[in-house]
Chain A
Amino acid sequence: MTIAYNRSSGVDASTQLRGNAFTRAFSGGTLGRNIGMAVLIFILGFLTLYPLSMLLYGSLHSTPPGMAGEFNLAGYRAILTAQNLLVLVNTVGISLAKTIPSLSIAVLLAWIIARTDTPFRGTLEVLITLPFFIPPILTAMAWGMLGNPQVGVINMAWRWLTGAEEPLVNVYSYGGVIWHMCQYSIPFLFLFIVDAFRAMDPSLEESSRMCGASRWSTFRKITLVLMLPVLTSSFMLSFIRGIESFESPLFFGTPAGITVITTEIYESINHRATPDYQYATALSFAILGLMFLLVLWQWSLLRGKSFQTVTGKGFRPNVIELGPWRWVTFGFCVLFFFVTVVLPVGQLLLGSFFRFFGFYTYDMLTLEHYRAVFANSEFWRAMRNTMTLGLLGATATMVLGAIVAYVSVRTKWKGRRLIDVMAWLPWMMPGMVLGVGFLWAFAMLPGPLPIYGTIWALLLAYIALGTPVATRVMTGSYHQLSYDLEECSRVHGATWFQTMWRILVALAWPAFAVGWVLTFFGIMRELSASILLYSVGSEVLSVVLLKLWTNGNAEQVSVIGLMMMLLVILFRWVQLRVIKSRISKL
């Protein structure tokens, strides 16, 4: 298999052994490196292993931490039922059914945006990612309005057009659950892989075409294979997230009698006579175990291959000229934009100017929702808190993720596998269970450590929750950079840190920025841990949104959702502009 341009291929046999010789240079084991590694393991251990070990205790103990009880396996025994097996099959099935099409569409979109001369692709790049940043509950509501079988706009239009009796779509179904999940997966995956496409030397593809491969088989055999680290990472992230998805199955699945693992866990905590944490945590650990197999699979898939597409040999910015076909790809992007953004967001935007969603008559027209939001001092305080936490948290998370990714991808240090796994862990735990883990962990810290009840508890939880994505984004990016770029900097006088910052971070900057935005909005949206950790005075946006939603102020929630979307557009615009002016590569 042709994997990649490899700087040293066939030139020097000793390079086979070298791996990353840059760090091998230090294989004697310097004190600084060992201390650095120990600090890294400590930080990750505190952020991930510690809360998880509290949860593990919870799964093995008849009562949650802090209560008298005994150790037993009742939780694990309780999850071994035929019904749970069905739930598991259901969950995995739904997640696969959404991940595979999502990934295909995301790859197609990324290719169109990054590698073809499709018109307006710069604008489209920002627009098609918007659905990801809207609170899921809002798009769920919007799709409920569009696609309910009785009076959904789509079905009404269908009946009017065709005279049919039967509805065209019903979002309260498997299809609806999957469709709603796809709206989040596609932009997420797109953001994740688009820069990988962009950072690829076109000559790698061109050489394949010179060898007689068609455009399609080049895409399949070279482009996709070169993308393997990014694609497998994003597949796993998306698949695992699909298993842990909660809003979509709750909103669209429960009415149709569809049960998935998260709704099962939710029910065991919230809808039983007494919350059954032992059952919930045991079930979560079972899932974590299964997910871990995926990580092993990815390792075996990537082992011993090189995916360096960004080499020290520059390449010319090159897009494929599609000729008249570019209007087809343009049309595809616009269609995607229309279906996933205009339809639901249009509903939210329209609805925000009327007293009630879905009742668009002249006398209902109002700005009261905007006024209410702007006059809500609690909202502004929460916004301030969330922005502070978001800016700090996203930056800290990305720095941590970048370091973890660096160590696990670009060094041969002992323990790099360990930190790679540790950085995965928070992703594999369903959010609502992990939230409980953080609560237990921070509250049970020895007295002198004042973390619980302060804003630091939220910050630490956000960093832990964001680390998997941050690490994956950076891992994918680092896989692509050839070692020369780094070594060259060292030889020319830059220290490890200078090299890290000026070369690796600078080169991985697009990925860093995307990761930052993903993490930032992850923090803005996070509820499960926030509600268990926030303290009086440190309210965050998601808690305020929950309050508004629970009080029936869906319209105000949309106003805030739309504001968040504006923020995304602003961030992305700045980011893409900065990239354009700073990084001459594109």
Chain B
Amino acid sequence: MTNTRTTAVRSWSRRLFLAAAGSAAIMSGASFSAIAQEDDWEKVIEAGKKEGSLVLYTAYVGQPSTKAIADAFTAEYGISVEVLEARASEIRERVRVEQAAGRYAVDVMFTSEGQTRLYDLEDKSIDPLPVTPNSGKVRDQFKLEVPMASVMTIPYGMLVNTRLVPENEIPKKWTDLTDPKWKGKILADDPRAIGGGYSWWFSTYDKIGEDFHKKMGEQQLTFTRDQRESQRRVARGEYAIYIPLILTDAPGLEGLPVQAVIPEEGVPYVLYGNVLLKNAPHPNAAKLYIDFLQSPAAQKIYAELGHGPVVDGVTEGLPDNIRALSEAKLLGTSDSRRQNEMLEKAKAIYK
């Protein structure tokens, strides 16, 4: 395993120059020159293995993918991964306090783009991203200003109860939901609080327009704050439609009288990725992990779960239903800089 990997490293090492040079415009010059040497990555691997372990905090709670990828990483490098899971605000406060108290426990954090901005600007708890062999392969769209190494997207669609909604009436577009026949029949994650509902609101507001939401405001949406339970409520027939459905949950709902819909306009999404913590106790292992998650192997694991990958060419050969999810057209995502403004707007429209 290690042997094949080593040759693999060699083979792309040559390409590293190109990749790194291509992304140099957005990467910091210092890290570029530090790693640009042919043998430097080998040294990182060496040092990372010596560190032997790695602590990962993740805000993406309860996902089996976390363990699957950690196991793959351990198999690759022999570096064990210790994972601590908690919700975004909890993770952030833990990291902030740990850093303030000088207890540097964590190396890498798996979190969203919006949270990264807070870590970077307010808490100043994260380091600039290293340029790594795989970082260059990331699609331009997912190369960010903030120091987060993009990993995958969580796409949002609709969930429709097939017992209540005949085949031909299943909405195909977000705008279909404004049809008066859905009045009082839609269950929705609350757009007035940060979460899935808010992401849906933000991107559809931006891409489809305020009019759409004004009409949605007439539809007497019922708001909840528990996404998984809401899916079940629609399945049991309390409501005909649930928005926005975390599309990667769809495979788990097989067997229930529901159908996941990928709207034609595209799917709102949340972008997740890794950040490197300041004073990380295992900095080299951390770099290896950040790199590994952008590798085809890890990207494929996410694509197989229906997440949108951030590199090309990993969706081939997937079952059709999964491929549809991971290749779903992306509509847009939220921008944490406009959060307060958009929350206010949501409260004005959805009273």
Contact = CB atoms under 8 A, between A and B. Distances in A.
Given a CB threshold of 8 Å, the question of whether A touches B is answered with: yes
Interface of A: 64-67, 141, 144-145, 148, 150-151, 172, 250-251, 254-255, 267, 269-275, 277, 355-359, 364, 436, 439-440, 443-444, 447, 452-453, 531-532, 534-537, 543, 546-554
Given A148-B238, A358-B232, A364 B224 contact: no
Contact of A356 (B61, B87, B90, B255): B255
B162 to A, nearest CB: 13
A548 B252 CA distance: 13
Q: 9 tightest CB-CB pairs across the interface, nearest first?
A: A66-B100, A271-B193, A273-B339, A551-B62, A550-B62, A547-B62, A536-B82, A552-B228, A443-B97
B229 A439 contact: no
Nearest to A150: B238
A452 B84 CA distance: 14
A550 B249 CA distance: 11
A532 B93 contact: yes
B232 A356 contact: yes
A454 B343 CA distance: 38
Best-surrounded residue of A275, A364, A444 (most CB of chain B within 10 A): A275
Contacts of B224: 254-255
Nearest to A358: B236
A344 to B, nearest CB: 15
Contacts of B232: 141, 356-358, 554
A447 B102 contact: yes
Nearest to B82: A536
20 contacts: A66-B97, A148-B233, A254-B225, A255-B224, A267-B193, A274-B118, A274-B122, A356-B255, A357-B232, A359-B236, A440-B97, A444-B97, A444-B101, A532-B86, A543-B85, A546-B62, A547-B61, A550-B61, A551-B64, A552-B249
Given A272-B343, A453-B103, A554-B229, 10 more contacts: A65-B97, A66-B99, A67-B100, A141-B229, A144-B233, A269-B89, A271-B192, A443-B98, A532-B90, A550-B228
B101 A439 contact: no
A49 B291 CA distance: 45
A440 B90 CA distance: 12
Interface string B187-198: 000101111000
A544 to B, nearest CB: 9
Contact of B84 (A274, A536, A553): A536
A255 B249 CA distance: 22
B277 to A, nearest CB: 14
Contact of B96 (A64, A255, A547, A548): A64
A273 B336 contact: yes
A553 B228 CA distance: 9
A337 B64 CA distance: 38
B62 A275 contact: no
A151 B236 contact: yes
Interface in B222-236: 222-226, 228-229, 231-233, 235-236
Contacts of B86: 531-532, 543
A144 B339 CA distance: 32
B239 interface: yes
B83 interface: yes
B100 A65 contact: yes
B90 A531 contact: yes
Contacts of B323: none
Nearest to B225: A254
A261 B55 CA distance: 36
Given A150-B238, A453-B103, A554 B97 contact: no
Contacts of B118: 274
A113 to B, nearest CB: 35
Interface of B: 55, 61-64, 82-90, 92-94, 96-103, 105, 118, 122-123, 190, 192-195, 222-226, 228-229, 231-233, 235-239, 249, 252, 255-256, 336, 339-340, 343
B94 A439 contact: yes
Given A444-B97, A532-B86, A273 B237 contact: no
Contacts of B339: 272-273
Nearest to B337: A273
Contact of B61 (A250, A444, A535, A546): A546
Contacts of B222: 172, 255
Contact of A443 (B64, B101, B256, B343): B101
Given A275-B89, A358-B232, A255 B223 contact: yes
Best-surrounded residue of A250, A447, A537, A552 (most CB of chain B within 10 A): A552
Nearest to A151: B237
Contacts of A546: 61-62
A251 B55 CA distance: 34
A271 B193 CA distance: 5
Contacts of A358: 232, 235-236
Nearest to A441: B97
B340 A273 contact: yes
Best-surrounded residue of A66, A251, A273 (most CB of chain B within 10 A): A273
Contacts of B83: 536
Given A272-B343, A549-B62, A554-B229, A443 B103 contact: yes
Contacts of A273: 194, 336, 339-340, 343
A452 B89 contact: no
B93 A275 contact: yes
A144 B222 CA distance: 14
B236 A536 contact: no
Contacts of A535: 84, 105
A560 to B, nearest CB: 14
Nearest to A149: B238
B243 to A, nearest CB: 14
A84 to B, nearest CB: 16
Given A267-B193, A271-B195, A273-B194, A551 B63 contact: yes
B101 A144 contact: no
Contacts of A251: 226, 229
Nearest to B236: A358
Contacts of A151: 236-238
A160 to B, nearest CB: 15
Nearest to A277: B93
A489 to B, nearest CB: 48
Nearest to A444: B101
Contacts of A452: 98, 101, 103
Contacts of B252: 552
Contacts of B105: 453, 535
Contacts of A531: 86-87, 90
A141 B224 CA distance: 13
Contacts of A554: 228-229, 232
Contacts of B85: 543, 547
A534 B255 contact: no
A81 B235 CA distance: 40
A151 B239 CA distance: 9
B89 A270 contact: yes
Nearest to A547: B62
B239 A150 contact: yes
Nearest to A445: B101
B70 to A, nearest CB: 12
Contacts of B63: 551
Contact of B194 (A150, A270, A357, A551): A270
B93 A436 contact: yes
Given A254-B223, A537-B82, A549-B228, A532 B62 contact: no
A275 B92 contact: yes
B343 A364 contact: no
Contacts of A66: 96-97, 99-101
Contacts of A274: 118, 122
B4 to A, nearest CB: 29
A150 B237 CA distance: 7
B299 to A, nearest CB: 21
A536 B231 CA distance: 31
Contacts of B228: 549-552, 554
